Amino acid sequence: MQLNLFKFVFDIMDKEYSFSYKLFKSSTELVSNDKQLVSKAIEAMNNAYAPYSKFKVGASVKLSNGEIVLGNNQENIAYPSGLCAERVALFYAGAMFPNQSIETLCIVAKGDLVPETALLSPCGSCRQVMLESESRQNIPIRVILVNQDDSVIMVDSVKYFLPFGFGPELAK
């Protein structure tokens, strides 16, 4: 595991943006609970419906009660009627377990849409939903991104994915 620091200084309102992230060469380096989330996300990914992009994405969400919720991308020929794995899992967690906070979100993917060595990163819509989920519960959500080459990036809060989030509470 390697700990990295990213720092960016905004020219707007003299704000500084920095965060650290953990980088793992392989998901085998993770602790057992995180390995379980990766395994569950892979299980969800294998059940994704992605006949158009051929890019399957799976997500697993660990809740404060220990429950693990799964989501995968669901495409539709009437684009943009589909939904990303992250939002499927987060919306399901909110609908079925509204009083449980989200502790960790794990995301995996497979397909030619993104090169195998490229960073797996949630789309803008998912980042906004992730950020609002964190804001609603007022507790950071840890994120585990497993790239197609099995390298892992882990961050302690979804706010690091969208520094200019939409909404009055999110833009602080």
Q: How does pLDDT run across 56-77, given as a tens digit for each residue?
A: 999 999 999 999 999 999 999 9
Q: What is the pTM of this model?
A: 0.91
- 169 found inside a domain: no
Nearest to 66 by CA among 102, 29, 96: 102
86 is catalytic: yes
Q: Which amino acid is at 95?
A: A
**Is the Cβ–Cβ distance between 142 and 107 less than 8 Å?**
no
Q: Per the domain annotation, does 1 fall within a domain?
A: no
User: Which one of the listed residues 86, 103, 132, 134 is annotated catalytic?
Assistant: 86
- Whole domain around residue 46: which residue ranges? 28-161
Q: For residue 84, what pLDDT is reported?
A: 97
The tokens of 107 are what? 């995301």
Q: What is the pLDDT of residue 39?
A: 98
Q: Three-class SS of residue 91?
A: helix
**Position 103 in a domain:** yes
State residue 7's pLDDT score: 55
Q: What is the pLDDT of residues 88-128, one digit of tens each?
A: 999 999 999 999 999 999 999 999 988 998 988 999 999 99
Give the DSSP letter of residue 74. Answer: B
Instruction: Answer yes or no: is pLDDT of 82 > 80.
Output: yes
How confident is the prediction for the chain on average, in pLDDT?
Answer: 90
- CA 119 from centre of chain: 12
Residue 23 forms part of a structural domain: no
In a domain, 5, yes or no: no
Quick check: is 133 in a domain?
A: yes
Number of domains in the chain: 1
Flag whether 12 is in a domain: no
pLDDT tens-digit profile of 28-61?
Answer: 999 999 999 999 999 999 999 999 999 999 999 9
CATH number, domain of 114, equals 3.40.140.10
pLDDT computed for residue 60 by the predictor: 98
Q: Is position 150 within any domain? A: yes
